[in-house]
Amino acid sequence: MTNQPNATDLYNAWLNDPNVDEETKAELRGIADQPSEIEDRFYRDLEFGTGGLRGVMGAGTNRMNRYVVGKATQGFAQYLLERFSSPTSSPSVVIAHDSRNHSDSFALEAACVLAANGIKTYLFRSLRPTPQLSFAVRDLKASGGIVITASHNPPEYNGYKVYGPDGGQLVPADAERVIASIRKVASFDEVKRLSPEEAEARGLIVWLGEDADERYTDAVVSQSVQPDAIRNGAGKELKIVYTPLHGAGNLPVRRVLEKAGFTNVHIVPEQERPDGFFPTVKSPNPEEREAFTLAIELAEKIGADIIIGTDPDSDRMGAAVKNKEGRFEVLTGNQSGAIMAYYLLSNLKKLGKLPGDGAVIKTIVTSEMGADIAKSFGMSVFNTLTGFKYIGEKITEFERTGKHTFLFGYEESYGYLTGTYARDKDAVVAALLICEAAAYYKSQGKTLYDVLLELYAEYGTYLEQLESRTLKGKDGVEKIAGIMNDWRTNPPSSVAGAAVSQVLDYKNGLDGLPKENVLKFLLADGSWFCLRPSGTEPKIKVYFAVRGNGLGEAEAALKRLVAAVMERVDALS
């Protein structure tokens, strides 16, 4: 059995590899006297997680760079050729990218590698939302897709997500086949590549035009529940502030809102332009209130009704609405999801369009409030593991079997989808749906916060919280593994005064779901918490949920639960 090369061996191999450019080698020489940095960059290959490849940009096997992208694409190409080649057809791929630094060059690199393998690639000339990539794969009947993005991660990150022919991110079985193909690419010598000029001349790179944008826009606008009401005045009355947070959402969101009838839309000027450094925020993440600072300032100045924000690749949407004191409050993903689910289902019922076999899909770490709302309308509710690819997989299953009509899918991390035009979360359609809900309820003299309080009164006060701890590098990976092992082997009998009624360990698969390193603890008082290592960041995430009678009771219960669990987590980290 041969020994695996260590980090130092791989570091030296890159320095001596004629395929590695001089700029990259200069970067590596700059860390020659930093053994810990060399270890972190080369102790492993960047791995596929819940969102494909994602990592800090830079030179090394554990970094995002053109060589890692090239190797991954060569492996993906081999997978596609084995699976989709026939005597009468060959595979094709759609590629999109967001506003992050190097996203455009990584996208072109992937296209050139696919072209060298004889795979036709459709490429957007500039940044586009991730959900548009999902739509385009389906629209063009491609064999797969690639999107270059690190979603809402900090500026130093980038990533590479792979999609199947249904427009959904690859689920574990297919991802494992791609990973196996990537592992067979032993060196950079095996990565094939054409120049962009030659690939274009041979018809292997095809640039997508405005017609592709129009088809996507029309597909999103068609999800409007009450299009006539919006176009006949409700859309003009709603004053919207929108921030794309320097990302890909700016033009698509504005285009969709305008076409749907929302004409009173104000863009945060400092955050309008794409910028991979995201200079106005600590993190371009609509889950964090800080990302809405400038938007709230503008909204207060002009008297806006609602604020919406999208992340760099525009697959996550966050919203802020005025509370009872007149201050803007950022809704959680669970709250926005519950409001949108209620608006959608109640109005479909009112219009006589609610299907008897309708289904709502959520993840196991998402609040039960949306599920309870769906059930109250007679809808079926399905749970999936974390990651919208599993929701997309379920939609495709419904389409194949004809057993259910998909209506709405969402996850607590600000991902939503209605309609079957795509198989990934879409901030563009979420922006449309929540603005439509805001306009509808405004016509009744209510804000979305009023609606949320009404839902609490009817279904119970559901409150949730997410805590995370960042543990970087090789030591961090080991600490996260240690935390999970400790909770798994020494589960508590009670937490914060409530007995643990059930422990759900998804490590070996549960309820028909794939295997995943997730622990969920159900408590006798109806609350729960869940521990899960992030698949895309060096973090362990802990999800909390309680249900009480009134905000005061629920807030106190949530505070006790979070304190008790995080005390143990922090002691281990």
Question: Mind telling me the catalytic residues?
Answer: 151
Q: Which residue, among 180, 168, 126, has the nearest Cα to 148 in the 3D structure?
A: 126
What does the DSSP 8-state code read for residue 262? -
**DSSP, residue by residue, 156-212:** TEEEEEEE-TTSSBPPHHHHHHHHHHHHT--SGGG-----HHHHHHTT-EEEE-HHH
How far is the C-alpha of 316 from the C-alpha of 390, rounded, in Å? 16
N-term to C-term CA, the chain: 35
Sheet with 240-243, side-by-side order of all strands? 265-267, 240-243, 306-310, 317-322, 328-330
String of b and e for 546-568 (b: at least 16 CB within 10 Å)?
A: bbbeeeeebeebbebbbebbbee
Structural contact between residues 362 and 474, judged by C-beta atoms closer than 8 angstroms: no
- Residue 323 in tokens: 């509370």
Q: How far is CA 135 from the centre of its chain?
A: 15
- Residue 384 in tokens: 């999936």
Q: Residue 151 burial (CB < 10 Å; 0-12/13-18/19+)?
A: buried
Q: Where are the beta strands (DSSP E) in 327-449?
A: 328-330, 358-363, 380-384, 405-411, 415-417
Structural contact between residues 239 and 302, judged by C-beta atoms closer than 8 angstroms: yes
| Secondary structure of residue 409 in the 3-state scheme | strand
What does the DSSP 8-state code read for residue 497? T
Structural contact between residues 545 and 464, judged by C-beta atoms closer than 8 angstroms: yes
Within 13 Å of residue 368, how many CA atoms lie on the same side as its CB?
15
Name the one residue in this structure whose structure tokens are 């490590």.
Answer: 507
CA distance to 125, 174, 391, 400, per residue, from 422 (Å): 21, 19, 11, 15
How far is the C-alpha of 490 from the C-alpha of 498, rounded, in Å? 17
Q: Which residue, among 387, 325, 313, has the nearest Cα to 50 in the 3D structure?
A: 387
Q: Give me the sign of the Cα torsion angle 381, 385, 387, 391.
A: negative
